[in-house]
Homo-oligomer: A and B are copies of this chain.
């Protein structure tokens, strides 16, 4: 198997998406994936964002995001690569990803 099971985009409830994005770690993670734009190793994203959490915690967050339909996980040999399900998310929740790029007024 080269793909990890993920829900169909139409089967994901908005509730799950909101809950998934309500966590600061996961929000930062999604923003980083959005900026990266390509398949990325999960632990690499950690390094890029400066988030300091254990690997089991990271695994947990990735699972939540995957079950919320936001990301996809691909098995590549010894590691797992993740990516935003960009087009699908945009189709189902138009404008959502653009919203997340909004950093808000806190940018000194």
Contacts and interface: CB of A to CB of B under 8 A. Distances in A.
B94 A14 contact: no
Contacts of A19: 22
The prevalent SS among residues of A at the interface is helix
Contacts of A99: 14, 93-96
Nearest to A16: B104
Nearest to A10: B105
A75 interface: no
Given A95-B93, A95-B94, A95-B96, A104 B15 contact: yes
B21 A18 contact: yes
Interface string A52-90: 000000000000000000000000000000000000000
A21 B20 CA distance: 11
A62 to B, nearest CB: 18
A13 interface: yes
Interface string A1-36: 000000000111111001101101001000000000
13 contacts: A11-B105, A12-B104, A12-B105, A13-B103, A13-B106, A14-B99, A14-B100, A14-B102, A14-B104, A15-B24, A18-B27, A94-B99, A95-B95
